[in-house]
Amino acid sequence: MSDQATLPGKTPLTGPPGTRQSVALLALSVPVALAGLLVAPGFVSVLLLSAAGAIGLVGGYLFHADRQRKRETAGAEAALQVIAGHDPAPVFLTGPDGVVAAQNPSAAARFGDRRGQTMVEALAGLLISAPAVVFRTETALTEADRTAETVFTRTGHVRLSAHRVADGALWRLDEVGPAGEWPGEGIGLPMLVAAPNGSVIWINDSMRSLIGQRPRSLAAVFGDQKIVPGARVELKGAEDRVFATIFELRGARGRREIYALPGAGIPAGGIGPERLFDVIPVPALLVDQDGGVQASNAAAQALLLLTPEETGVPLGHLVEGPGRVVRDWVRDILDERVPNRTEVVRALRRQDDCTVRISLGRFNTDGGPQAVAILQDATEVQSLQQQFAQSQKMQAIGELAGGVAHDFNNLLTAITGHCDLLLLRHDPGDQNYADLVQIHQNANRAASLVGQLLAFSRKQAMKPELLDLRDTMAELTHLLNRLVGERITLQLSQDPGLQPIRADRRLLDQVLMNLVVNARDAMPEGGPIVIRTRMARLESGLMKGSATLPAGTYVVIEVSDSGVGIPPDRVGRIFEPFYTTKKVGEGTGLGLSMAYGIVKQSGGYIFAESEVGAGTTFSIYFPAHDWPAESDERPPAARSAAPGGQARQERGDTGVVLLVEDEAPVRAFASRALRLKGFSVVEAENGEEALDILEDADLQVDVFVTDMIMPGKDGPAWVREALQQRPDVGIVFMSGYAQDAYGKFADDIPNAVFLAKPFSLADLSDTVRDQLPA
């Protein structure tokens, strides 16, 4: 008897070796029994006969169990063939133990023989997290008769459904394809996707509603009717007779995309391309072998600004952008030299920036191959992609700028600090004194540039407060008038009903000064600069440039000039660091990037609108606030200062400082500066070394002075550990980053202040003295 089970239409699949094992045991029992009969009666004879009987009993049980299993498997397979033998989707039948008892031909063709395996093993090569999916499904079946979910695969996603059957379950996998792959998703035109063998892979909701079923093959929809583009056919499966005109596109890997246009009164011989395109609800073109448009529907005409009378116009005159000549692209599709894929192009006749996704489908006619072009307005999607790319770009530049600023601040701390030490040893009349002053002044200028980098990266220290722009702008106007010169007139127009904004007064002044200076430089012949303030209430989101303003109430500041303007191809880059439209030596390219960073860090938005030869307008949107102002606007350092610092300063007392800094030049300057001011200094290179030093219980430390960011344990981490044993020590955190790093990592540490790099000798000594305990 064969020990194999066969699926209809498939090659025999080897079953478990239960029959071979049982037969072997029965055969083994015979010689053992004969040996027991041949030996002399006694203990050995009884032992052999007993062993033979036991072996024969086990073999008989295994034989019976194997036959029972085969009958159950055969019954399960027979039942499954009736239920899903011709189903194009893979179907598995599992028993009460969760093991696959049978599978239909589609499952065998897709996965191979999985009988005897768990569903986790059967689906492991398809699903990304097969154990979790199978567990969820089996758990759901304990509470309901059926369950279904769409799960991700390694190439897309599938619809996994399971039904409880007696003590087991019936599992089915429907191919959905890669997310967003099907061109018929979200459109009202009924369509389906079929494999080259005629099995239906996917249908959209419109087709499912039209025919009232989910067909497994094209024959279930069209019967024996030929699928010819433009032909009128009867669709099967619907309650009423439905006639439709169809057309077909060829997709990747031989996939067939079939669209059906339902309607009555269509001539039995089909309709021509022009009539067909007129009633298709999606933009469509008929393109000939030379790339000329032979027919178009109303939707395509509206999208591409094409008139109905225009025939033969080259597609390349309507769109551009697939990376090559449009005519050659169409020719390659028609000659089947390249696989069809969706391309993103730009509509040439549109005044606005209109992006179109276009897919070509080849079909044969008596005059040779032609193509149907299905179009989709992708302007909004493309705009979102560009916004995301721009935000990622600006974020990356900001992170780079912040890192560069941190490193420069460490260098500048060492330069300005040692310069301070040298100035202490030279009198103003010394011949080197002027040179040292120049070094110090230029180092301060460098520190200012670094501050602009930090502003762009939104990492600089801010002291926000509620501001009334009516007062702020009036006071700032006096300074701006001196900046613009005699040939420029400054005009200020204010809304009397302005609400307050929350911003750093000093930084806001810097933003406005930069914008006014840029406006002045854009008008070499002179002219007016107009500054306006107004309220703006947005009932819904407003899209400006590459950003979307949420609904709400805003205070708007506009700075306008009538200068040379900025070319359109440069407007999108003006907020990037070091990008400037000025001549070499006339600008650093940091002014607008700094303004951008300050506005964004304040929760606002900044936009530029410009026309070459007409001028430029910068608009800043700040969220509006309400009075009264917050009661506590003091900076963190002032709120956190140790209570005895002022008293110690008046008495001139000093103390012991533990200085922790990984940058050797900065540590050398800081230790010398503190010793010059009378402090005792203990140095450590990192947090771990500082904690080792503090293990000495006899060491009295009054103030910790530590860098924020260091290899190993950073400043806040080692300070928290040290405070457990020394809770009364004052703390000074230093950093080349801005104060927001302090608030993020060390806001919970008591008696701590922040000292931004670069700092002077006086800044360091005064801050440390303020932190001395009473």
Return the pLDDT at 602.
82
Q: What is the pLDDT of residue 272?
A: 47
Helix (H) or strand (E) holding 555: strand 552-560
**DSSP secondary structure, 112-153, as one string:** ---TTSBHHHHHTTTBTTHHHHHHHHHHHHTTSSEEEEEEEB
The per-residue pLDDT for 268 is 39
Q: Residue 498 carries which DSSP code? A: P
Mean pLDDT of the chain: 75
Identify the pLDDT of residue 560: 93
- pLDDT of 157 strictly over 90: no
Tell me the C-alpha distance between 262 and 270, whole Å. Answer: 12
Average confidence (pLDDT) over 596-600: 82
Residue 544 confidence class, pLDDT cut points 50, 70, 90: confident
Helix ranges (DSSP H) in 154-227: 205-211, 219-222
- 501 confidence band (pLDDT: 50, 70, 90): very high
What confidence score (pLDDT) does residue 266 get?
Answer: 39
**Which residues are bridge partners to 233 per DSSP?**
244
Instruction: Please give the backbone phi and psi of residue 345, each rounded to the nearest 5 degrees, phi first.
Output: -130, 175
Q: Are strands 547-549 and 542-544 parallel, antiparallel or unpaired?
A: antiparallel
> What's the half-sphere exposure (Cβ side, CA atoms, 13 Å) at 74?
10
What pLDDT score does 265 carry? 37
Among 112-121, 252-261, 368-377, 697-706, the minimum mean pLDDT is found in 252-261
Tens-place pLDDT, residues 274-285? 555 565 667 888
* pLDDT exceeds cutoff 70 at 12: no
Task: Determine the Cα–Cα distance for residues 253 and 479; give it in Å rounded to an integer.
Answer: 70
- Name the band, by pLDDT with cuts 50, 70 and 90, for residue 689: very high
Q: How far apart are CA 96 and CA 78, in angstroms?
A: 18
DSSP characters over 413-461: HHHHHHHHHHHHTS-TTSTTHHHHHHHHHHHHHHHHHHHHHHHHTT-S-
Q: Which two tokens stand for residue 276?
A: 């067909």
Nearest of 553, 327, 557, 577 to residue 452 by alpha carbon: 577
Q: Which of 29-38, 333-342, 729-738 shows the lowest mean pLDDT across its residues?
A: 29-38
pLDDT of 23 over the 60 cut = no
- pLDDT of 259 > 80? The answer is yes
Torsion angles phi and psi, residue 729, rounded to 5: -75, 140
Instruction: Point out the least confidently predicted range of 181-185, 196-200, 611-615.
Output: 181-185
pLDDT value, residue 10? 33
Q: What is the pLDDT of residues 635-671, one digit of tens each?
A: 333 334 444 444 444 444 478 999 999 888 889 889 9
Check residue 83 and give its pLDDT: 61
pLDDT exceeds cutoff 60 at 302: yes
Question: In the numeric block, which tokens belong to residue 662?
Answer: 């990984």
Which of residues 461 and 116 earns the better pLDDT score?
116
Q: Kindly provide the b/e burial profile for residues 664-678, where b requires at least 16 CB atoms within 10 angstroms of the residue's own CB.
A: eebbbbbbbbbeebe
φ/ψ of 286, rounded to 5, equals: -105, 120
Is the per-residue pLDDT at 449 higher than 80? no
For the chain, the residue count is 774
Give the percent of the chain with pLDDT over 70: 69
> What are the CA-CA distances from residue 64 to residues 22, 28, 97, 556 (Å)?
9, 17, 20, 88
As a whole number of angstroms, the distance between CA 719 and CA 741 comes to 15
CB atoms within 10 A of CB 737: 22
Give whichever of 33-37, 307-311, 408-412, 494-498 has the largest mean pLDDT: 494-498
150: nearest Cα among 165, 128, 169, 168? 128
Q: Are 586 and 532 in contact (CB under 8 A)?
A: no
In terms of Cβ atoms closer than 10 Å to its own Cβ (0-12, 13-18, 19+), residue 100 is: buried
pLDDT at 136: 83
Closest CA to 405 of 443, 457, 440: 457
Amino acid making up residue 167: D
408-428 as b/e: b if 16+ CB within 10 A? bbbbbbbbbbbbbeebeeeee
User: Cα(659)–Cα(677) distance, rounded to whole angstroms?
Assistant: 15
Helix axes 379-424, 761-770, angle to 10 degrees: 90
Residue 46 has a pLDDT of 54
Between residues 462 and 61, the one the model is more confident about: 462
Indicate if the pLDDT at residue 683 is higher than 50.
yes
Could you tell me which residue, 329 or 270, shows the higher pLDDT? 329
Give SS3 for 405: helix
Over range 398-405, report the average pLDDT: 64
Which pLDDT score is estimated for 14? 32
The average pLDDT across 212-223 equals 83
Among 162-176, 392-406, 494-508, name the one with the lowest average pLDDT: 392-406
Kindly report the backbone phi and psi dihedral angles of residue 487, in degrees, each rounded to the nearest multiple of 5, phi listed first: -85, -5
- 428 φ, ψ to 5°? -55, -25
Do 625 and 631 meet the contact criterion of CB atoms below 8 Å apart? Answer: no
CA atoms within 13 A on the CB side of 332: 12
Q: Is the pLDDT of residue 485 over 60?
A: yes
Report pLDDT digits (tens) over 37-79: 565 565 555 565 565 555 556 555 555 555 555 555 555 566 5
Cβ distance 723 to 638 under 8 Å?
no
CA dist., res. 597 & res. 398, Å (int): 9
Q: Which residues contact 193 (CB under 8 A, 6 or more apart)?
A: 177, 182, 184, 200, 201, 202, 203, 251, 255, 256, 257, 258
pLDDT value, residue 290? 85
- The pLDDT, as a whole number, for residue 271 is 43
Whether residue 524 is predicted with pLDDT greater than 80 in this model: the reply is yes
Contacts with 114 (C-beta within 8 Å, 6 or more apart), sequence order: 92, 100, 103, 107, 121, 122
Dihedral of CA atoms 318, 322, 328, 332 in degrees, nearest 10, equals: -120
The yes-or-no verdict on residue 269 having pLDDT over 50 is no
The reported pLDDT for the residue numbered 532 is 93
- pLDDT of residue 672 exceeding 80: yes
